[in-house]
């Protein structure tokens, strides 16, 4: 490589990393507790614990659960019911002042599907973990915050790629994983920066890119509403507003009959951003490992309970769904979480050592310059 080419790549690497480093440090630090958020919720006593009951206690009808949710939050309406694999007797309910209320103003709790009893889920509504999550997701700045972080993620990706290009001129005379421990601090940290950077490369790139995709979730969901949903609810364009709904009781059976072999992940009630003004939309997922992340929405007319459409999944919604596990590392058991945390800490070390190396070079440059000035 020509020295001029090296200098150019080095400038790209320096500036893309410098701009994104502070944000990346914040993301890596807040991401660390989020890897263990399930465990932390249990530790803080914030995870809902259902009462022990006979194992075959029957579940209430869904309409009764809707009413229980509305009794628990007077004046609010149900936006979503969600299902969790490890809590078959619970239903996660999300309510808000209106169906269209934005997610940050909603309230989340769990309903015991057998009794209709409401259990608080403090971690979903506030508290330290929610604070960390909001900081990580949008820095409390809504869509602009998400898009800024998405841009920082892109700079991070460019910094990684330019780092790989620079790896070869720096490592030409060294063996793989050789760290010049006996040389200056700067040489030692340069070698560590290069080594840790190159071995964590794939992980950092995947977590970075999936983070960018997740940060664009709001845009992807509105694109999906524009593209797919608008076409599917076209016959309802001039329909009068929904005044009476059929009870929701059978929608899960109706959706299962429409898509045999799949399971319900969540129900979006009429008027929410995952449904239309006239439909209950049941989001079904597959039963295999891979397809358990991929949603297929079934639109059910909220007055007649007829299935009016089974939406095709556009590729970008699949990309969004697959980005979640790959970003959070919560899909391969406890060892995976621990490795995720180790790699996260290693990334913090790469970012920190990068800053240190830049600062040392900067200071040395200053000294050289002032030396030349003194000579002149």
Partner 1 sequence: MNWRQSTFALPLVIGLLCAVGLFSALLGDGWWDALAWLGLGVPAVLGTWPLLRRPRQ
- Where on the chain is the footprint of partner 1 (CB under 8 A)? 167-168, 171-172, 175-179, 181-182, 185, 188, 192, 195-196, 198-203, 206, 289-290, 293, 322, 325-326, 331-333, 335-336, 339-340, 342-343, 346, 349
Nearest to 277 by CA among 312, 230, 320, 314: 230
Q: Strand pairing partners for 281? A: 268, 299
C-beta of 199 vs 310, nearer to partner 1: 199
Q: How far is the CB of 1 from partner 1 (least distance, A)?
A: 12
Q: How far is the CB of 297 from partner 1 (least distance, A)?
A: 22
324, 332 Cβ separation under 8 angstroms: no
- Element of type H or E holding 264: strand 263-268
C-beta of 66 vs 262, nearer to partner 1: 262
75, 56 Cβ separation under 8 angstroms: no
Q: How far is the CB of 350 from partner 1 (least distance, A)?
A: 9
C-beta of 196 vs 305, nearer to partner 1: 196
Q: How far is the CB of 326 from partner 1 (least distance, A)?
A: 6
Helix axis angle, 201-215 to 315-328, nearest 10°: 130
Q: How far is the CB of 366 from partner 1 (least distance, A)?
A: 26
C-beta of 72 vs 293, nearer to partner 1: 293
Tokens matching residue 293: 């992340």
140, 146 Cβ separation under 8 angstroms: no
Q: How far is the CB of 83 from partner 1 (least distance, A)?
A: 20
C-beta of 125 vs 202, nearer to partner 1: 202
340, 31 Cβ separation under 8 angstroms: no
C-beta of 104 vs 168, nearer to partner 1: 168
What secondary structure does DSSP assign to 225-252, as a single string? IIIIIHHHTGGGTTPPPP-----STTHH
Count, residues in the chain: 376
């Amino acid at each position: 490589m020509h020295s001029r080419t090296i200098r150019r790549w080095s400038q790209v690497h320096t500036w893309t990393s410098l701009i994104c480093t502070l944000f990346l440090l914040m993301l890596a630090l807040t991401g660390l507790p989020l890897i263990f958020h399930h465990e932390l919720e249990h530790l803080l006593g914030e995870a809902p614990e259902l009462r022990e009951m006979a194992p075959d206690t029957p579940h209430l009808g869904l309409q009764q659960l809707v009413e229980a949710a509305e009794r628990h939050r007077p004046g609010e309406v149900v936006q979503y019911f969600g299902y969790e694999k490890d809590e078959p007797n619970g239903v996660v309910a999300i309510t808000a002042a209106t169906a269209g209320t934005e997610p940050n103003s909603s309230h989340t709790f769990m309903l015991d599907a057998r009794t209709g009893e409401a259990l608080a889920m403090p971690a979903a509504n506030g508290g330290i973990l929610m604070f960390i999550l909001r900081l990580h997701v949008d820095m409390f700045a809504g869509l602009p915050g998400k898009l800024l972080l998405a841009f920082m993620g892109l700079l991070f990706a460019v910094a990684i790629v330019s780092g790989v290009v620079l790896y070869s001129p720096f490592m030409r005379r060294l063996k793989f994983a050789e760290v010049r421990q006996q040389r200056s601090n700067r040489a030692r940290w340069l070698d560590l920066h290069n080594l840790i950077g190159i071995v964590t490369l794939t992980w950092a790139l995947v977590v970075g890119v999936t983070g960018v995709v997740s940060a664009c979730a709001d845009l992807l969901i509105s694109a999906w509403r524009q593209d797919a949903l608008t076409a599917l609810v076209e016959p309802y364009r001039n329909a009068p507003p929904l005044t009476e709904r059929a009870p929701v009781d059978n929608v899960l059976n109706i959706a299962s009959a429409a898509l045999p072999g799949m399971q319900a992940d969540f129900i979006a009630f009429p008027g929410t951003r995952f449904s239309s003004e006239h439909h209950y939309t049941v989001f079904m997922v597959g039963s295999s490992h891979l397809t358990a992340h991929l949603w297929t929405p079934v639109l059910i007319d909220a007055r007649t309970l007829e299935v009016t459409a089974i939406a095709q999944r556009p590729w970008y919604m699949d990309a969004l769904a697959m980005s979640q596990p790959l970003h959070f590392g919560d899909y391969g058991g406890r060892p995976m979480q621990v490795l995720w945390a180790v790699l996260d800490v290693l990334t913090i070390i790469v970012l920190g050592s990068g800053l240190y190396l830049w600062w040392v070079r900067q200071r040395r440059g200053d000294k050289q310059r002032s030396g030349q000035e003194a000579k002149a």
